[in-house]
Structure 1
Amino acid sequence: MDFGPDLAQLVEDLFATMYAARGVGLAASQVGDPRRVFVYDCPDDEDVRHLGHVVNPRLVEKDGVVLRGPEGCLSLPGLEAGTERHDEAVVEGVTLDGDPVRVRGTGFFARCLQHECDHLDGLLYVDRLTGWRRRRVLRRAARSSRSRGPGG
């Protein structure tokens, strides 16, 4: 990966897009960029704010209790479903400068880290759903796309 001004611009654009959509995280793949980068501005369960970016992230640890909690996605606006995630997660990667970074999250922030890593592996939270939860959110997504019409 080229660690020059183009990458810095991507991170800046990801933050701007995430804030405009009122999200807490955004992966480059969500805006059609194939680079393995995500940004976040996300609280944990103690309402401590976590702000940053990770280039070439790897989810190296998922631990703790598996909890089902509400999860939405900027790729599926207006939809959410109870999704199982570990309540502790660790992501390793590098910064824009190529410096190693290790991000540890708990609670909601752990959910965010797992969610964004999933995007970079080609997954949406609905891919983790089964049974009626999956059917329900897919029906709602289909109705939502029909109501927006072509090009919506």
Structure 2
Amino acid sequence: MAILPIITVPDPMLKFSSTPVEKVDDALRKFMDDMLETMYDAPGIGLAAIQVGRPIRVLVIDLARDDEEPDPQYFVNPDIYWTSEEMGVYNEGCLSVPEQYAEVERPAECKVRYLDYNGEEQDIHCTGLLATCIQHEMDHLNGILFVDHLSKLKRDIMVKKVKKLTRDKVL
């Protein structure tokens, strides 16, 4: 497996809408394994393909804590077809907006239809952190970042901090 470079704001690719995947094959499975390895290395709990420069509708998630066995989930062409009216707030962060966090309000529950690692159609009812994470990652597939849910002032401050952080790491 390979660690892939994660793109960060203000890279314009993060605003692209991702295209559906035609089929789940060995090449896509290898790419998803690389995404998972990249996410673990970062470390994070979710990663969308666009964050590593591929505008395809693929994401990986693993909500297992450090003291738990890994529990990777692979989502190909995910589609949220239902969300609850009840809302939840979570302090979100993002590997493409490093070291920045903010409370974001999203539906507390959602139902998602997707293809799994083997290309089999699945249906899942998400609650809690999984509901938040899948909605966050699905936003990436549509060119939306968690900071887009914030006021313009907060968003601009975060992007400026990330630019400085990235610039400082290069120097």
TM-score range normalised by the length of the shorter chain: 0.7 to 0.9
**Contact kept? 2:23, 2:119, Cα under 8 Å:** no
**Contact kept? 1:37, 1:54, Cα under 8 Å:** yes
What residue ranges of structure 2 are gaps of 5+ in the alignment? 1-21
| Aligned residue type for 2:54 | D
Q: Does 1:61 align with 2:82?
A: yes
Residue from 106, 109, 120 that aligns with 1:99:
120
Q: Please, what TM-score do these two structures have when normalized by structure 1?
A: 0.84
Two-structure CA RMSD over aligned residues (Å)? 2.1
Q: Deviations over 1:6-61 (max 9, x none)?
A: 01101111110011112111111110112211111115xxx9x8631110011112
**Contact kept? 1:93, 1:100, Cα under 8 Å:** yes
Q: Please, what TM-score do these two structures have when normalized by structure 2?
A: 0.76
Fraction of identical pairs, as percent: 35
What is the CA–CA distance in structure 1 between the aligned matches of 2:78 and 2:56, rounded to whole Å? 11
**Contact kept? 1:59, 1:91, Cα under 8 Å:** yes
Indicate the SS of the match to 1:26.
strand
Whose relative contact order is higher, 1 or 2, with alpha carbons under 8 Å and at least 6 apart? 2
Paired residue for 2:5? none
Moved over 4 A (4+): none
Structure with a larger share of its residues in strand? 1
1:109 is displaced (CA, Å) by 1.3
What is the CA–CA distance in structure 2 between the aligned matches of 1:111 and 1:126, rounded to whole Å? 14
**Contact kept? 1:54, 1:101, Cα under 8 Å:** no
**Contact kept? 1:81, 1:137, Cα under 8 Å:** no
Paired residue for 1:142? 163
Q: Which moved more, 1:131-140 or 1:113-122?
A: 131-140
Q: Does 1:111 align with 2:127?
A: no
What residue ranges of structure 1 are gaps of 5+ in the alignment? none
1:132 is displaced (CA, Å) by 4.6
1:117 is displaced (CA, Å) by 0.4
Residue from 32, 43, 46 that aligns with 1:25:
46
